[in-house]
Structure 1
Amino acid sequence: MRHSLKTAFAAVVFTVGLTPMAFADDASDATKLYKAGQLNEAIKKIDAVLAQRPKDAQMRFLKGIILTEQNKSADAIVVFSKLTDDYPELPEPYNNLAVLYASNGQYLKASAALEMAIRTNPTYGTAHENLGDVYAKLASQSYDKALQLDSANSTAKLKLNLVKNLIGNTTGGTNPKTSTTSNPAPIANIPNTSTVTPPPPTKAVEPKLPQVSPQKSVAATNEKDQALSMVESWAKAWSNQDVQKYLSFYAKDFQTPKGEARSIWAEDRRSRIEGKGKIGVRIDDPTINVDGSTATIRFKQYYSSDRLSSTSRKTLILTKQDGKWLIKQERSGN
């Protein structure tokens, strides 16, 4: 199966205050020109908007896409790099920056950019997939180097073949054959920008970004990070059978599952956790929604002990109290 890096499409909706009608019309015209394949005309429209609104994230993002399709990789890298500086809460510029780095064979830079995208949005599936592809490419280069140093290394040869099959590379560990396409819309494909290491074909996704100010978006991202960190610490305390710390993550007004008194519920949890041999609790695939002082986090929970292993969906309703996220409700199932 051939794996390819995916780039985010230019449909970023991210505003800073109100947009005057004239600028909105120019932005709409630029998008239409881009989708029609009239890239030079689209760039002119974008530059007209940016002359008046230099921080317009949507137009800057679209300009980066167009520069990429025009084989102006260095210019596109500058655009996406500055976007990550000005809007570090947006994962898509990091992702597209990584695609460009990978196109130029700069896989370490690509992996660093993708890790930033994932840190910004842990549920950004495109970045996770791309990071896997980049890691596979780095692995193929290392196995290829090992074979250059020792051609009789059968283990390295087997691993290289496995990785080559994974990433669709049939010509060697450091120079994959790939095809490209120049269709500009609705899919933003990254064309060949390097004569040394051609990029893989890319497919676009349309990011759904909220229309908020940078300050609000950064705050929301920080709250999500804090909520996720709290839940991870809760799972760790459970795994470590540290009941006192585990119970500290529950709010004073926690709604017990059966409506029993909190003290009775807490004692039941203590008896189920303490002295039960080895316990492991891991969360995966979390989604988080923050609304003021309330956060809802849904995830897949993996539980294992000496006697039981189970996988379930779990929902935690968190409340912000004294500057900390605490669990107010806990539900299992969808």
Structure 2
Amino acid sequence: MRTRPSAVLGAWVIALTASISIAHAQDGIDAARGFLQNGQPDRALAAAEQWIASHPTDAEARFVRAVALAELGRRAEAIAAFSKLTEDFPNQPEPYNNLAVLYAQQRDYDAARKALEQAIRTHPSYATAHANLADLYARLANEAYERALQLDAGREAKRPPATQPPLALIRTLGPTAPAPLAVAQQMPLASQSSSPAAAPRPSPNAVNPAVNAPAQPAPRATADSAGPKPAAKPVPAQTASEPPSAPTVTPPAPAAPSTTANEEVLAAVRAWADAWSAKDVTAYLAAYDKTFEVPGGRTRAAWEQERRQRVSKPGEIRVTVEDPQIEIDGDRAQVRFRQHYRSLNFNASTSKVLELVRRGQRWQITQEKVVR
């Protein structure tokens, strides 16, 4: 372990994928991110709070605000902000990670450990949380050794130098590099849409296809038989007082959605993500149905204008869909998946649900929402 002075306890290793000039920052949340990454947490805080005033449910803006509070040394407010994010977005590992950093800075290692374990339960492949947990255990081991020396003051022993491994504070809502679980994006389609096969239909050569025929007695032996066979047991004749029982008709099993329908829905979702990644605004907006429920009570025109600005902004964008789960009911479909968004100055992973409707040969989005 590397030796660091105790003053380094509060130091944070910042996880960044790239730096961005403030000249490229745009208004709103983009400006807040730009200020934060250029070492201006005070201006980042002001920009984030201004954006949150009109977008109170924006998880990205609230996360940037919490990071700015932490970097300004307003620890209690930062802890409250990250704690609220874990309540509202419990599937996001980054707020748990940053809570652990702040708890460790206060030497509340038990709370830090619990926060990191929750981050890992939320996203088992989250490398930063695993690294922070290892560093935290190193701190706990060092403190345990210090306590042992204090209890055994009469023993002559040379204690090893104190170690203060840093914990990494995350600035972006989402892992800084694609996580190993992203391999699930290439999961075979058959495993995504597999379903129990429909019950086989009776053969058309049956004597009476409308009912289940009773079992037939064994065939009589003939001269061509390979050998003597036991005689079939006689079937007792029915009497007039015993009417034949009503035949049992088994209702057919409901038909499962066809593999073709699943493929069409998945293709529509991937085309939507690809258009977003390619900044093809026309194709991206065309993926939304005319009945699409615009979030926030805005008009369709206002929403489209905002999406045009954000999708077409400078810099590379990459949007990928992980582990899609598809449910189809007639001309309606629902797709649950993990969305990974990557850009020059922002990374985020969210759980999302798309509702789609079939329009002729196309599936189009009628509702888009982030879920916990």
Instruction: Tell me, yes or no, whether TM beats 0.5.
Output: no
Point out the structure with max Rg over C-alpha.
Answer: 2
Superposition TM-score tier, normalisation by shorter sequence: 0.3 to 0.5
Normalising by structure 1, what TM-score? 0.45
Structure with greater helix percent: 1
